[in-house]
Amino acid sequence: MAVACERQAILLSFPFWIFRNSFLTPPVNLAPLIEITDLTKVYRGGQRPALDGLALTIRRGAFFGLLGPNGAGKSTLISILCGLLLPTRGAVRVLGTDVQTDAARVKSAIGLVPQDLALYPTLTARENLSFFGRMQSLGGARLQERVAACLAIARLEDLADRRVDTFSGGLKRRLNLVIGLIHEPQLLILDEPTVGIDPQSRNFIHEALRSLHQAGMTILYTTHYMEEAENLCDDIAIIDHGKILAHGTVPELLRAHRAGTIVAHLDTDLPDAVAQQLRALPQVRIGRVEARIIEVESETPDATLVAITGILRSARLPLVSLSLGAMNLEQVFLALTGTRLRD
């Protein structure tokens, strides 16, 4: 109850007046904001396409999570969406505009918050915002208004004239976020905006994004933190090897992948010999078999469940808990993309 009240207070205090653009009111236009058709990108010398016939639609007003392991194609897709990279084949339309034929118009409608901080450390927060505002053709009283508004969103009013190189990581992330909002974009794209920051700063960014979304802004969000996507996003796509593996809401994804996931927690550590038996089970993809946790994905979950319990019973290993079915988004993600480390 306390958390809910705190969140409500944050939402009520959020300065919605700072935006005059169309996303303030949920749009009546039901046409998709982003339409991607047969999108393919092959880099010179690449052994496989970075994007391979990808098709995706993102509705207006969505809080859309784009998830995938390293090398899945997320960064390539974002670069093409922003008009920074040409595809090998296929089409991308943003707000009904073809990115390839009218990149300038698309760029003016997009705010990009990159993973790597795009800040000038020797400038102040105000100077950074002013610079990037001028890059978006803002000037005069309008620029001053937008700078003040973005400082208010980031709660940086009292630190506006401090050099950025004196900021903590969390303060830099907050400034990095609002630089993407300086020109009142209709689509905000965030590439892992909470990497390496403290829990308080992460929570602040989450609440700011919820407020923007509630005001009607469309958000495209990438993260490696599955709990972030599960808590923030109302629509999710999982991508790997340049293809969409799954697309839907969190409940839809959990339902679709419920049958195959088995998780067991043991009372004692798993002996190596028993671990080998578990890894040798047929039609099983291993998520984790280590210490006191067994996590597998099976094409025949009922038979696998019987086999696992039989192996543990024979080894006289007591169970603390046993579940059949995906319990969270991370289990779905690992089931679809595997557990092999990615560079």
Per-residue pLDDT reduced to its tens digit, 87-139: 999 999 999 999 999 989 999 999 999 999 999 999 999 999 999 999 999 99
pLDDT over threshold 50, residue 278: yes
Boundaries of CATH 3.30.70 in the chain? 259-325
Q: Which sign does the torsion angle of CA 302, 306, 307, 309 carry?
A: positive
3-state helix, strand, coil in the chain (%, to 5): 40, 25, 35
- What strands, in cross-sheet order, belong to the sheet with 89-94? 51-58, 34-41, 89-94, 97-98
What does pTM read for this prediction? 0.77
CA dihedral 66, 71, 72, 77 (to 10 degrees): 60
Boundaries of CATH 3.40.50.300 in the chain? 13-254
Cα-to-chain-centroid distance, residue 25: 24
DSSP output for 260-298:
TEEEEEESSPPPHHHHHHHHT-TTEEEEEEETTEEEEEE
Cα atoms in the 13 Å half-sphere on the side-chain side of 287: 20
Q: Which fold would CATH assign to domain 13-254?
A: Rossmann fold (3.40.50)
Cα atoms in the 13 Å half-sphere on the side-chain side of 36: 22
Tens-place pLDDT, residues 32-63: 999 999 999 999 988 899 999 999 999 999 99
Taking the C-alpha atoms of residue 194 and residue 209, their distance in angstroms, rounded to an integer, is: 12
Taking the C-alpha atoms of residue 147 and residue 132, their distance in angstroms, rounded to an integer, is: 10
pLDDT over threshold 70, residue 283: yes
**Mean pLDDT within 224-249:** 95
- Of 300, 294, 296, the C-alpha closest to 286 is 296
* CATH 3.30.70 describes domain 259-325: yes
